[in-house]
Amino acid sequence: MNTAPTTSTAASGGYMDRAIALARDAAHRGEVPVGAVVVEAETGRIVAEAANRTETDRDPTAHAEILALREAARVLGAPRLPGCDLYVTLEPCAMCAAAIAFARIRRVYFGAFDPKGGAVDHGPRLFQQPTIHHQPEVVGGVRETACARLLKTFFAERRDGNG
């Protein structure tokens, strides 16, 4: 009998694989490849998923996490999602980290670390700020190699003019 919680390493990897697939699709549209999935922790159901759409939508706020959080809030009919976990292929930036806190997300799993733009393990380390109103649990480095490779390939191809 499999009694492993939905947040076991294996399950986390599965949701992250879905986020990676979303990120890959985004790259094909010329978007920076970042994907995000919101999961209802109790049931393991994927409530919302999204990839980066800043260029497609011409929207500076259209990061994968923001779009997934907005969709999850819409689906569940509440601006706060304390029963949900977020899986995202890249360490969230300050905008997304703050949105995650506003949404009261239970746990954040992220893939690649982002020393330049990240705001969880880098920069302002938002969840460690004394003024933060909600501190989710954080698991970094899930499927790190695959998540990072996607971004590296995307930017390398752009530099080579193939993007």
Mind telling me the catalytic residues? 65
- What secondary structure letter does DSSP report for 126? G
Can you tell me whether residue 2 is helix, strand or coil?
Answer: coil
The helix or strand, by DSSP H or E, that contains position 84, with its residue range, turns out to be: strand 84-90
**Residue nearer to its own copies on the CB measure, 10 or 78:** 78
58 binds its own copies (CB under 8 A): yes
**Residue nearer to its own copies on the CB measure, 65 or 111:** 65
Site string for its own copies, 70-109 (x = CB under 8 A): x--xx--xxxxx-----------xxxxxxx--xxx-----
Q: Which of residues 113-152 bind its own copies (CB under 8 A)?
A: 116-117, 119, 122-124, 126, 129-131, 133
For the chain, where are the E strands, in sequence order?
A: 35-40, 46-51, 84-90, 107-112, 137-140
Separate counts of helices (H) and strands (E) for the chain: 4, 5
CA angle 62, 80, 67 (to 5 degrees): 15
* Contacting positions for its own copies (CB under 8 A): 54-55, 57-62, 66, 69-70, 73-74, 77-81, 93-99, 102-104, 116-117, 119, 122-124, 126, 129-131, 133
